[in-house]
Chains A and B, each alone.
Chain A
């Protein structure tokens, strides 16, 4: 552990969604890559302003659903037709029709797990340590303030120039967070 802490990011506070949206647009045009906007609620249109592509969570849900359906159908086939065949009520030992309700529920179950776990995976959550929480002001990111965070590891980052850019965008309070 070195004695001189490394800078982690510049944190700029904004007061309204419109201001932070405008700032996000400008930061994207300026060509930054390792940056983010933190808001207490999702702001409609911010993905476009930041240039974020459509989320990939859907693939995880789909894979989960397919696994659920496959498990359901093959489990019922294995249990009722293969491993323990016993005739009940003159019904066939296996039919996708009577196997459907259970397979359907398992499709939904695993698709939901796929969705939630996929979201956590794409967001790299749970995250045990995040230097951004060192900022006292940042607590308001879950209340009523909007933040633009530009990381020091961004190739375009410069402690003075980036600060100037954020000041020009109308941020009232800019803070350097250390790692």
Chain B
């Protein structure tokens, strides 16, 4: 009736506003894949025959890793003099590598915890691998402070363990705070990662064909049945762990920055360090996530799970944090001038135009200029260019730590204590070797564990929503 009497002159007394056009969200899983497709695809990577490319990466990585251990053994047996550091540059590649690796870890926690709290559902297809990356990066990071102490057999004095000298660690030192921050970070990341893994390990157990697999996955799956009474506690625990990890990830790199900021060395003694380090850490971490994920989605054919949209979003985070880092570089210079401290100003002038000018400008071009290309959608969606830029981000962030540490130390107050640091082959090979350790662990992870959170990805598909037609909802029935 209403339809037939409608005319231009007559306004009905009760108009029903047309339903607003629903904004289409790009789906997180492309091509409308079914739940069992998601299980089979992700679990299939682990269950299938070991591909040739895996060996092609694994064998060199394992060799490079052994080189790392060889270098460490040489360092311990010969002494710290095999490295290039000396007065006045007492910290060099060791601490640079430590901060570099620990920073990389931060993206994993950011993706798993902060993006979870912000309900960014796209995190589900990358969080597992990013968290694994965190763990392995923290493992690499942990090596360097441990071996840089010189007499490594006394490294346990860092921990509050009773010893024969009857003395205790000195808790006023930020270096000790760092011990607690990094070990807590490693442990909590492991707990969070494992919690997320439990339902997927149950999936692996239920699909396992051999006895050994069934036992191994079953052991770690703890007897998980997917019971909703369990999910209820599980989801609360996951939310709490995300809530706990968020202040943790912000605190860890703040405390790492205290190693520098609490000292009175010009170039280190700045209040901007904690936020600047955290932003830099997330920036470098996203760089590494992109470096790992782009080849991974190609070789494992995960284009429907790690979509262009995921890469686009990660590029945006990289650009945002890269801009914060650029702002911090500028602000450091401004404060060095505005603060009126001649030593501070000298340290910064020396940083940009002194003997290490090449390191400073490599850092600026990789960290500030390069990510600005991500303003363009065409670049964000071109995986090859994104991959190349992500490599530059990694390089730039290593240089950042090198610049902060070495340029601040190499010219002490008196010109008689000036020096120039050059790395020895042992320095270089240990650092290169740490990449071997990182890649070996990562390759083992992707061979034996589901590298995408199966249950979480299912949870964000329309098929999982009981109010969606694909989830079985009947028309008008809620």
Contact = CB atoms under 8 A, between A and B. Distances in A.
Nearest to A125: B222
B295 interface: no
Given A36-B228, A58-B236, A101-B180, A43 B466 contact: yes
A84 to B, nearest CB: 5
Contacts of A84: 166-168
Interface in B242-301: 244-245, 247-248, 251, 255, 258
Contacts of A19: 472
Contacts of A38: 225-228
Interface in B197-248: 199, 202-203, 205-207, 222-237, 240-241, 244-245, 247-248
Contacts, number: 211
B206 A104 contact: no
B232 A47 contact: yes
B177 A40 contact: no
A105 interface: yes
Q: How large is the interface on B (under 10, 10 to 19, 20 to 34, 35 or more residues)?
A: 35 or more
A126 B199 contact: no
Nearest to B227: A36
B455 A41 contact: yes
Nearest to B177: A101
A47 B35 contact: no
A57 B222 contact: no
Contact of B176 (A50, A102, A108, A132): A102
A75 B171 CA distance: 10
B191 A139 contact: no
B187 interface: yes
Interface centre among A37, A56, A142, by most chain B C-beta atoms within 10 angstroms, is A142
A119 B241 CA distance: 11
Contacts of A127: 222-223
B66 interface: no
B168 A105 contact: no
A154 interface: no
Contact of A42 (B35, B184, B459): B459
Nearest to B252: A105
Contacts of A106: 180, 184
Contacts of A115: 191, 237, 240-241, 244
B167 A141 contact: no
Interface in A79-134: 79-80, 83-84, 86, 88-89, 91, 98-99, 101-102, 104-106, 108-109, 111-113, 115-116, 118-120, 122-123, 125-128, 130, 132-133
Interface residues of A, number: 71
B467 interface: yes
Interface centre among B39, B170, B240, B258, by most chain A C-beta atoms within 10 angstroms, is B240
B188 interface: yes
Contact of B168 (A83, A122, A140): A83
B169 A52 contact: no
A48 B195 CA distance: 24
A111 B244 contact: yes
Interface in B434-467: 454-456, 458-459, 463-467
Contact of A102 (B177, B225, B236, B456): B177
Interface in A53-82: 54-58, 61, 75-76, 79-80
A38 to B, nearest CB: 5
A79 B240 CA distance: 32
A127 B230 CA distance: 12
A45 interface: yes
Given A40-B226, A79-B160, A109-B187, A118 B237 contact: yes
Given A18-B467, A125-B223, A101 B472 contact: no
6 contacts: A101-B174, A102-B171, A102-B177, A106-B180, A142-B39, A142-B455
Interface of B: 34-36, 39, 160, 166-174, 176-177, 180-181, 184, 187-188, 191-192, 194-195, 199, 202-203, 205-207, 222-237, 240-241, 244-245, 247-248, 251, 255, 258, 454-456, 458-459, 463-467, 471-474, 477
Interface of A: 15-21, 24, 36-47, 50, 52, 54-58, 61, 75-76, 79-80, 83-84, 86, 88-89, 91, 98-99, 101-102, 104-106, 108-109, 111-113, 115-116, 118-120, 122-123, 125-128, 130, 132-133, 138-144
Given A40-B455, A57-B233, 7 more contacts: A15-B472, A17-B465, A44-B465, A84-B167, A104-B251, A115-B241, A138-B225
